[in-house]
Structure 1
Amino acid sequence: MNEEKKHVGGIYLSDLAQQYFPGSTPRSAVSQLHRWIALNTELTRRLAELFYKPRQRALTPLQHEAVLECLGEPGE
């Protein structure tokens, strides 16, 4: 079976947060996403390995991929 891997690019945290929380203001959505990250120990560990800092405004492609793998695609 030939499995294709999706290539994920970098993204601003506020853009990603609004995809997960479309009914929220950008500031509230980012706060909620930070809360989800903090509550997910696997995601917190993986992001730490990828040099994520809590006040980062953008995610690298690898950090973005880790979020999607741990939290699922927005809207699922």
Structure 2
Amino acid sequence: EYGISARLTFSNSLLREEHLSDNKCTGLCALFNESETPRNGVIVHSELLLAYLRRRYPKLYFVSSTTKVL
């Protein structure tokens, strides 16, 4: 109604591949991915997680976390 999107924040710098199957996080991403308008997003620190999310949840938009050292 108001066109306000939501963002999840995943800023864990110690994330490993085995964490990608976390049911709570994947469930939230799936729920956020269902929205057509407005597009929901994810603030991401990990490149591993970013690649995983882009493959599984194509409707989300992604923002680089300010906790990431460039």
Same fold, TM-score > 0.5, yes or no: no
TM, length-normalised to structure 2: 0.30
TM, length-normalised to structure 1: 0.29
Higher helix residue share: 1
Higher strand residue share: 2
